[in-house]
Structure 1
Amino acid sequence: MGRAFVYVILGGGVAAGYAALEFTRKGVSPGELCIISEEPVAPYERPALSKGFLLPESPARLPSFHTCVGANEERLTPKWYKEHGIELVLGTRVKSVDVRRKKLLTATGETISYKILLIATGARALKLEEFGVDGSEAENVCYLRDLADANGLVNVMQSCSSGNAVVIGGGYIGMECAASLAINKINVTLVFPEVHCMARLFTPKIASYYEEYYQSKGVKFVKGTVLTSFEFDSSGKVMAVNLRDGSQLPADLVVVGIGIRPNTSLFEGQLTLEKGGIKVNGKMQTSNDSVYAVGDVAAFPVKLFGETRRLEHVDSARKSAKHAVAAIMEPKKSGEFDYLPFFYSRVFGLSWQFYGDNVGEAVHFGDYSSGTFGAYWISKGHLVGSFLEGGTKEEYEAIAKATSLKPPVEDLAELGQQGLNFALTISKKPQPALPIEVSRSTSGLVLEKPVYAWHAAAGLVLTASIAGFAYWYGRRRRRW
């Protein structure tokens, strides 16, 4: 028993939906494309799960956040897939993949073959048991990775109104869930081992602003320690959390957000892996030319950094999916994926955006008391990263463009004084129409150099010389 498709997308997350939309725009025919997903619903926007889905009033529910509304595109409901002749194979786990034979085997025993496979398997949430702590199966211990997790969390939230919640982890999931729980009038304590929240991105100064804001909303912070065990009641529910520093916190609800791990197990030993994910080139193509990978699972070359990285964010999933499909459908027209890393979050009444890389020296700017502030990161004399809280659409676009241009920065003090005006000015400057030569410095930073007239002249001379030699050599060959 089996089915065959020209294109198969393995995974039903954000990237799968955006890839499907791009396939239709590039002219895929009805019956050629199939999406296989373990989830029982069509692809949806995962960011909604830690934001609108958890709100106490008018919470987001499907079909309102099916992809691709996150990028202001049309909403891809099950009806949309049917109208475009795209097969949705939902609630189906793939047991194995044979890349050489281009076949997938589902848990039910069905074989699905393909000509081109697009891997969009994403990542799974790390479990406490992987760190030596038992208790994940307790009904009031929640993770947040998919719709089933979100439904479970909402059910527990509703049963412990005005109760105590302990959130484990100070990253994206921890911060966004803590905010949502506080909005639901639940007493929240956020626990993490780092010295401040969002340690992978925030500077201490930026982090202190958000921690103070959260505290003003009733959220407590316990930093520099980790969960070691739970206390359970007679029914098996968690009633307290034990920490390494010896303290104990009462808990009616525990939310765990301690990181993710890419879903690569089906391809180990078949495709090249790197940075914990599946290595791809600038066209999102793996070590097998009939297989592509996108989203959280893909490790791809980031030109801004001059190295391969794996980025865990919805924007990367959306854009890498679209680029991969363009490379599949129009290989001669598509270039290398030139992505500016972008991260964002919205909590309470706050909203921040970050572009680029947070390496080098951070230069803070803005008025923290007004709620509009930010930072630039300078490495090897160039702007490589920008962060802004409370900006306008124009200001966010300005820091994005400025970061992508990587302008030189000589005076850090002056940069701090200019603040947002630096990005606004840089972004409005007309760019030279000269051709651009891209080179990589030893630091890995991509530098752009204008190609001057003498370069062009030298190129013409070289081209003419090669052409002359080719003509002479061709005539000699004919005589031989």
Structure 2
Amino acid sequence: MNRTVIVGAGVAGAQTALELRHRGYNGAIALLGEEHQPPYDRPPLSKEFLKPATEHHPLDLLPAQVAREQAIDLRLGTHVDGIKAAEQKVVLGDSSTVAYDYLVLATGARNRPLSVPGANLPGVWGLRRLDEAEGLRRALDHARDVVIVGGGFIGLEVAAAARARDTNVTVVELMPRVMARVLSPEMAHHFAQEHRRRGVEILTGVGVTQLLAGPLGNASEVALSDGTVIPADVVVAGIGILPSTDLAERAGLRTSDGIVVDRHLRTSDSRIYAIGDCSRFDCAVSGRDLRLESIQNAVDQARFVAGQIAATNRPPANDRPTALYTALPWFWSEQYDSKLQIVGVAPTEADSVVRGDPSSGSFSVCRFLGERLVAVESVNHARDHVAARKILAADPTRLRRVTRAAVSDAAAPLKSL
């Protein structure tokens, strides 16, 4: 019997373990997680979990009882200190080792630190782990002035949750517009206007220079690069994440803003896979080398790797698997009563075709690179999103028929293309 060891008990790691059993894998499975909580779902942490409510939906992905039933050796509070690749073993924090035939690195990412004076004051929060979300939720119960540093998905989702508590909310974004790296200018403008309409103050093109302490030693003010000082009893740093590659680097695996994998999701060591937020792969759909931070990417890569391992179900030989990872990327965000759905990946130089009336609150933005449709952003328009997923998954011959003129006619359903 062989063994698969999975390092990281987030969505990617837990999904790999469950999918292996679903696909009939009968080898041993060890799932090693550094946190003490059983695997849980992260996306709600910046959304429903922070809203004022007496009850919250369970976040569990792999309860301990399910792990036992599926014969998954779930080890929580377990730090992996190193990889002995030549011996096919991982070294744990207590110096013990676990042998593997397959190793899956699902190490995820960590918060990018806010590197300004005062960043370590009480009242300054990151948001990546469940304990951080629980602490932030308690802090919001008594907050008056909330400052969010970073206007990406996480920052704006937290802003929406904080406004639901009727707190004063200010978003500080260094870029010229919010969500500049992930959304078209048109869609970013729509969401910025929605937040302002709800009472959020959005400051763009300005950075944070210092966090100032109040009489009790907690954060009380935020100093900005334009000389402005704004009150804050809660500060949330949402300036992005960094892939957790330390373990891979020490093992001599190739890294470059992520653990580099091939089209089979294998690292430079053919016995080791890397998936989820930590992996950098050649995206077949976009034709670009990417590291994606999304649930879709974590789940689809986990299913793919589990399929590769289960199909072989024996220690890997020198031959490489024939299947290639070709999943279509898609993303989503919820802010107030707006549900944003994105399919595909558009570079910043892509141009836009707006489909529908943004003032209606239900429209789409089609992104083109040259004459090729590369992504579709939809807000409160599930039909466009579903159709766009089918279009972008089509072969290139069919995709060439999807022109700017064709998508600009909002009266014609996208599915007709």
TM-score interval w.r.t. the shorter chain?
A: over 0.9
> AA paired with 1:15?
A
- In the alignment, structure 1 residue 379 sits paired with structure 2 residue 373: no
Partner of 2:315: none
Distance 1:239 1:343 in 2: 35
Instruction: Trace 1:42-441 onto structure 2 (pairs within 5 A).
Output: 42-61=38-57, 64-67=58-61, 76-129=62-115, 133-160=116-143, 163-268=144-249, 270-331=251-312, 335-359=323-347, 360-392=350-382, 394-405=383-394, 407-408=399-400, 412=404, 414-415=405-406, 417-419=408-410, 421=412, 423-426=414-417
Q: Secondary structure at the match of 1:387?
A: strand
Distance 1:136 1:39 in 2: 23
TM-score (norm 2): 0.92
The Cα shift of 1:205 comes to 2.1
> Which of residues 15, 18, 35 is equivalent to 2:15?
18
Shift of 1:137: 2.7
Q: Aligned-pair distance for 1:202?
A: 2.0
Q: Distance in 2 between matches of 1:286 and 1:77?
A: 29
Report the Cα offset of residue 218 of structure 1.
Answer: 1.1
Cα distance in 2 for residues equivalent to 1:256 and 1:319: 29
In structure 2, give the amino acid aligned to 1:125: N
Q: Secondary structure at the match of 1:27?
A: coil
Residues 420 and 59 (structure 1 numbering): CA distance in 2 closer, same or farther, change over 3 Å? farther
Residue 145 of structure 1: CA displacement?
0.4
Q: CA deviation at 1:234?
A: 3.4
Task: For residue 422 of structure 1, report the CA deviation from its aligned partner.
Answer: 5.4
Larger Rg: 1
Structure 2: how far apart are the matches of 1:336 and 1:58? 46
3-state SS in 1 of match to 2:235: strand
Note the residue ranges of structure 2 that are not aligned, 5 or more in a row: 313-319
Kept after mapping to 1: 8 A contact 2:145/2:232: yes
Contact 1:371–1:390 (CA<8 Å) still a contact in 2?
A: yes
Most deviating of 307-316 and 344-353: 307-316
Q: Taking structure 1 as reference, are residues 96 and 135 closer, same or farther at Cα in structure 2, changes over 3 Å only?
A: farther
Distance 2:411 2:26 in 1: 47
Q: Is the 8 A contact 2:78 2:93 kept in 1?
A: yes
- Aligned AA (1:199): A
Count matched residues: 405
| 282 and 119 in structure 1: CA distance in 2 versus 1, 3 angstrom threshold | same
Using a 3 Å threshold, how does the CA distance of structure 1 residues 287 and 411 change in structure 2: closer, same or farther? closer
Distance 2:180 2:56 in 1: 29
- 1:10-49 superposed Cα distances (whole Å, 9 cap, x missing partner): 001110111111111122337x111111111121111011
Residue 143 (structure 1) shift: 0.3
1:10–1:37 Cα contact (<8 Å) kept: yes
Provide the secondary structure at the position in 1 that maps to 2:128: coil
CA spacing shift, 1:312–1:201, aligned 2, 3 Å: same
SS in 2 for 1:287: coil
Conserved 8 A contact 1:382-1:408: yes
- Give 1:157 deviation, angstroms: 1.0
TM-score, structure 1 as length reference: 0.80
In structure 2, the CA distance between the partners of 1:36 and 1:269, relative to structure 1 (3 Å rule), is closer
Higher RCO structure, 1 or 2 (CA under 8 Å, sep 6+): 2
Give the structure 1 partner of residue 317 of structure 2: none
Residue 420 of structure 1, CA deviation:
7.0
For 1:159 and 1:108, the matched residues in 2 are separated by 41
Retained in 2: the 8 A contact 1:136–1:142? no
User: Equivalents in 1 of 2:179, 2:141: separation in Å?
Assistant: 27
Letter in structure 2 aligned against 1:402: I
Deviation at 1:374?
Answer: 1.0
Name which of structure 1's ranges 183-192 and 333-342 shifts more when overlaid on structure 2.
333-342
CA gap 1:411/1:402 in 2 versus in 1, 3 angstroms: closer
Structure 1 unaligned regions, length at least 5: 68-75, 427-480
Q: Following the alignment from structure 2 to structure 1, what is the Cα–Cα distance between the partners of residues 137 and 96?
A: 35
Residue 314 of structure 1 deviates from its aligned partner by 1.1
| Letter matched to residue 408 of structure 1 | R
* Structure 1 counterpart SS, 2:416: helix
1-side partners of 2:94 and 2:251: how far apart?
23
Q: 1:43 to 1:280 in 2, by over 3 A?
A: same
AA at the equivalent of 1:91? G
